[in-house]
Amino acid sequence: MGTFSRQERLHEAAIGDRTDLGSGAVQAGVRRLVRESWQRSLSLRLDPLTAQAAPTLSADELGRLRARNPLAAVLPVINTLLVRHAAEFGLIVAVADETGRLLWIDGDSSVRTRAEDMHFVVGADWSEARVGTSAPGTALALDHGIQIQRAEHFSQLAHPFSCTAVPIHDPVTGALLGVIDITGGDAAVAPQTLPLVEAAVAALEAELRIQSLSAPRPAPARPSGFTAPGILLSVLGTEHGALHGAQSAGQHSAGQHSVDQHRVDLSPRHAEILLLLAWHRQGLSADRLAGLLSAEQPHAVENLRAEMVRLRRVLAVSHPQLRVGSRPYRLETSVDTDAGRVLRLLARGAHRMALAAYRGTVLPGSAAPGITEIRAEVSQRLRQTLLSDASVEVLLDYARTEEAAWDSEVWRACLQLLPARSPQRAAVVANLARIEAELSA
């Protein structure tokens, strides 16, 4: 009992209020949710001055956890919806599994560095049982989204930070898959942050449901809701492209420096080749593939064969399960693309999700004829579908993208769809005037 009272006093000193956790009397306005979490933390004999989440996993153990977690398959969507904007507001985004183990962290680099002081790093256990009250751990304990601000954390190490976290579930079985967490300063607990993360989680669960419709059902012996992630080639809004997918233990490429061990950045030429082969699943002859890569390059076929040797060497290290066949050149392993996902979402009428997944044009720096065709196909399909079928809210979001910012037809369509007294009409009219003035100039 003496030890329990000492921990209570230490925690009071750490947070600077006058809370009597033993009797439940609160004088400093501590929220009930937080108070109950502190009580659970104290019942586990955690010390607020020493509780910390030091990582205990080896690289291989971390790789195995990542490989079997189904959230690996939606990392590109998390990047689109959350990570891309996190750095602008001095925030980091973390993804933890159902036990509270942090598997991926990305966002503002300076915040990531400072967060290392409280052991908020990949591989660390941030469950309530390990560190006490925190957004990711307590969100998992309560199974709903929460916000924890600075001194509300049980561990004194975490007091400089605020966090918002929302659990994510398997859309088919309802099983808890993990939690999405936003950590940083006051922006992490702004009133709009929790609804934003909840909306992102809803989109992630919808994406998981879509993937489950086309993926083979897992063997009965495997844990419910856990399927091995496939390989995704991301080519939207990037000149280099990247492969995302599970690696075998110990297969991480030397010197690889990326957000997670499932991502491998590609050279522009390798991204072009893999995209063309993924787009033309029946395969391409050497002459045809060379022509799609370059219209007039001399010795195109010889250069292609040398490049294929280099590509196979890269894949042998980073993704040994991904094989490229010959005569014709073809992918012997199923590879999905983020561009293909956008087209499938459009075909299903999921316009908002398609726009959220569209991070930019296909390999914008590429001049390869085959890539130019794919780029035009995806861009035009998105534009035409949204113009003809999307709601005005989605069409307005599209109009504000870099790609449609000067598209007067899109802005006029928004004006036609908006109600007569909508406050958004003025901004649309202003944008149309800007476009007309620029054209006349």
> What pLDDT, on a 0 to 100 scale, did the predictor assign at position 223?
32
Cα(211)–Cα(66) distance, rounded to whole angstroms?
18
> What pLDDT, on a 0 to 100 scale, did the predictor assign at position 10?
45
pLDDT tens series, the chain, 441 aa: 344 444 444 445 444 443 444 444 444 578 999 999 999 999 888 888 888 887 667 777 888 888 888 998 888 889 888 987 887 788 999 999 999 999 999 888 889 889 988 989 999 999 999 999 999 999 999 999 999 999 999 999 999 999 999 999 988 888 899 999 999 999 999 999 999 999 999 999 998 988 877 554 443 333 322 223 468 899 999 888 898 864 433 333 333 333 344 678 899 999 999 999 999 888 888 888 888 998 776 667 888 888 888 998 988 888 888 888 888 888 888 888 999 989 988 887 878 888 888 989 999 999 999 999 999 999 999 999 999 888 888 899 899 888 999 999 999 999 999 888 888 899 999 999 999 998 887
> What pLDDT, on a 0 to 100 scale, did the predictor assign at position 217?
41
> What pLDDT, on a 0 to 100 scale, did the predictor assign at position 26?
42
Backbone angles phi, psi at 107, to 5 degrees: 130, -150
Would you say 403 and 364 are in contact if contact means Cβ atoms under 8 Å apart? no
Handedness of CA 25, 26, 27, 32 (dihedral sign): negative
Q: Which residues contact 317 (CB under 8 A, 6 or more apart)?
A: 251, 253, 254
Cα(74)–Cα(338) distance, rounded to whole angstroms?
11
> What pLDDT, on a 0 to 100 scale, did the predictor assign at position 11?
46
Nearest Cα to Cα of residue 293 among 323, 275, 274, 272: 272
> What pLDDT, on a 0 to 100 scale, did the predictor assign at position 294?
85
> What pLDDT, on a 0 to 100 scale, did the predictor assign at position 193?
92
For residue 374, count other CB atoms closer than 10 A to its CB: 25
> What pLDDT, on a 0 to 100 scale, did the predictor assign at position 28?
53
Name the CA dihedral angle for 303, 304, 309, 313, rounded to a multiple of 10 degrees.
110
> What pLDDT, on a 0 to 100 scale, did the predictor assign at position 159?
94
Name the CA dihedral angle for 145, 149, 150, 155, rounded to a multiple of 10 degrees.
-40
Q: Are strands 263-265 and 242-244 parallel, antiparallel or unpaired?
A: antiparallel
